[in-house]
Copies of this chain bind each other. A is one copy, B any other.
Amino acid sequence: MSYRLWYWPDIQGRGEFVRLALEAGGIAYDDCARDQGAEALMANLDSHASGRGAFAPPYLETGDGVVSQVANILAYLGETHGIAPSGVADRQWLNGIQLTIADLVAEAHNVHHPVAMMDYYEDQKPEAARAAAQFRAERIPKFLGYFEAALAANAGDWLMGEAWSYGDTALFQSVAGLRYMFPRRMAAIEGAYPKLIALHDRVAELDGIKAYLASDRRIAFNTQGIFRHYPELDAA
């Protein structure tokens, strides 16, 4: 059967890390809320609330139950479909990287929603400007430097060596998201991370990813998602 992925239908958001791994791996899935809408997503989420449900989208209905939280879903897919290394130590290392990407994603979201997660960006613009300044100056280089070092620590074309894993598609999305959100900042600094940028380009050429990016399944970046481009928050 196909997996049933549940995530917001109009954004890449956290769900995109799952979509990319599924697409790269050629793993069948239904992106349920894209067909059925956000109300169906909320109804489905609620339907699991008295059992082993999810705190929030994205989550996967596997047929046996619900798997939620991006890193947890990816570890599950990695193990089930071989899009992660097989050794225990390798898997732990990869999971640690993925959780660091989750930290980056949470911090990127916090830039445009620093003081009120449930309110609009427009209601917290001065605060967002402050948050963006430190994120651009200190946090982006710290995260990208860590990923660059991780790539340097491995032999081979991919994060985990000779075969791509969900960590590679997640690093691709991290670079793509930061480029969309902070084009001037990324243009100024990304030359310092050559292995990471080369990896981004290599992932874009994977058959499954190339087809996905050219399809209408790939939602365009927009200012409803995690990575949002507000020109006033960007600077070199």
Residue numbers of A with Cβ under 8 A of B are 49-55, 64-65, 67-69, 71-72, 75-76, 89, 92-93, 95-96, 99-100, 102-103, 106-107, 110, 114-119, 124, 127, 130-131, 134, 138-139, 143, 146, 149-150, 152-153
Contact = CB atoms under 8 A, between A and B. Distances in A.
16 contacts: A49-B149, A50-B149, A52-B93, A52-B153, A54-B96, A55-B146, A65-B89, A65-B93, A72-B92, A107-B117, A110-B114, A115-B115, A116-B131, A117-B139, A118-B134, A127-B127
A116 B134 contact: yes
Determine how many copies of this chain the complex contains: 2
Contact of A134 (B54, B119, B134): B119
Given A55-B100, A115-B130, A92 B67 contact: yes
A96 B117 contact: no
A116 B114 CA distance: 9
Contacts of A110: 110, 114
B75 A150 contact: no
A130 to B, nearest CB: 4
Nearest to A106: B106
Contacts of A138: 118
A197 to B, nearest CB: 19
